Amino acid sequence: MNLAIDALIGLGLVILAWQTISGRSLFRGIVLFVVFGLTMALAWARMGAPDLALAEAAIGAGVTGALMLVAYRRLVQLHPEEPAQPNRRRSRLALPIAALAAGLVAVIGLGAVSAEREPGMAGLAVMSELADTGLGNPITGVLLKFRNLDTLLEVAVLLAAFLAARTVFADEEKSPTPPRGDLPLVGALLAIIIPLTILVAVHLLLAGSREPGGAFQAGAVLAACGVLLILSGRLQPATRMGLAVGLPLVLGLLVFSLVGLAALVMGAPLLALPGLWTVYLIETAMMISIALTLVLLFAGASGLRRGDS
């Protein structure tokens, strides 16, 4: 029965991926890609990885889908007709290469699955080491205790992607989104959804030390808040990045680096976190930075200002 559900999800993934690649319309492709991401979230839940399910639903499907839709809208705005659909490339080698790649992945995977698991493997050692850190969620523990430099640089990569995207559009004048007629229903929705979203984000952040969740999932949920505010015209993209935007943008990187350096000053190894409170401090700062970076990427702007409505 369980295997049947897994097989159904796997089949769905393969069909959705094929449709995404081979469909005619780009817009349809984006929608299918988002559905693919949500099905991936189901697959993660089935594979016993609820952290990944949350991350995939919020970041993989939600944020990526929103960014793709924004990019598509800008393509349509530049040339109002359906963006030119270049013919598919005809390549005799495509199918053999794809089959070879799939075979390679299958061989690696099947080899790894059937390999004997040694008792002294890193994963088991990590689990026993984490037992006395007070972090109930092993994923958060690994991210902040054993791979702290990776996690720090991960935040840096996200920031670098935003800065690079801004550099590409350095000389562009940003036209403000035209104010829409304020719909009473949208105002009511925002009044309910925004506090709830913030609640969920904070819960994900705090729960992240014990249960599935963490700064990245919480940041993506918080970013959804900002995206709603931009779509409803409450927040407008701005050309200049003020201190009110710039400081939170680098807050995660700043706090993480400072705490890590403080550890070095006090004689501990670089980036060793002295206690559980530093974990909460760093995760909160990271959540704010991640959310703001994602919102700015969505807005395609350097800064934000309050809307007129």
Partner 1 sequence: MNTAWLFVIVAALLFGIGVYGLIIAGHLLRKLFAINIMGNAIFILMVAASGSLDGSPDALPQALVLTGIVIAVSATAFALALMVRLYQLTGKATLQDDEDADD
Partner 2 sequence: MNIVEWIAAGVLTLGAVFYLAGTVGLLRFPDVYSRLHALTKADNLGLLLVCVGLGLLAADWQVGALLGTIWLLGLLAATVSAHLIARHARHGHGQATTNSEES
The site for partner 2 (CB under 8 A) is made up of: 24-25, 27-28, 183, 185-186, 189, 192-193, 196
- How far CA 294 is from CA of 3, 39, 162, 256, in Å, comes to 37, 22, 8, 19
Q: How far is the CB of 17 from partner 1 (least distance, A)?
A: 5
Which listed option, partner 1, partner 2, none, makes contact with residue 223 (CB within 5 to 8 Å by class)?
none
Contact pick of 165, 183, 264, 270 for partner 1 (by CB under 8 A) = 165
Cβ of residue 309: shortest distance to partner 1, in angstroms? Answer: 27
Please, what's the b/e burial string for 206-240 (b: 16 or more CB within 10 A of its CB; e: otherwise)? ebbbeebbbbbbbbbbbbbbbbbbbebbbbbbbee
| 127 lies in the binding site for partner 1 (CB under 8 A) | yes
Segment 64 to 83, residues that bind partner 1, using CB under 8 A? 64, 67-68, 70-72, 74-75, 78-79, 83
Does 269 help bind partner 1 (rule: CB under 8 A)? no
Identify the residue among 47, 188, 258, 268 touching partner 1 (CB under 8 A): 47
Q: Rule CB under 8 A: which of 196-255 touch partner 1?
A: 214, 216
Residue type, 296: L
Which CB sits closer to partner 2, 93 or 185?
A: 185
Binds 63: which of partner 2, partner 1, none (CB < 5-8 Å by kind): partner 1
Q: Which residue has the tokens 């700064």?
A: 215
Query: Cα angle at 122 between 133 and 46, to 5 degrees?
Result: 85
Among residues 161 and 189, whose Cβ is nearest to partner 2?
189
In whole angstroms, the minimum distance from the beta carbon of 146 to partner 1 comes to 8
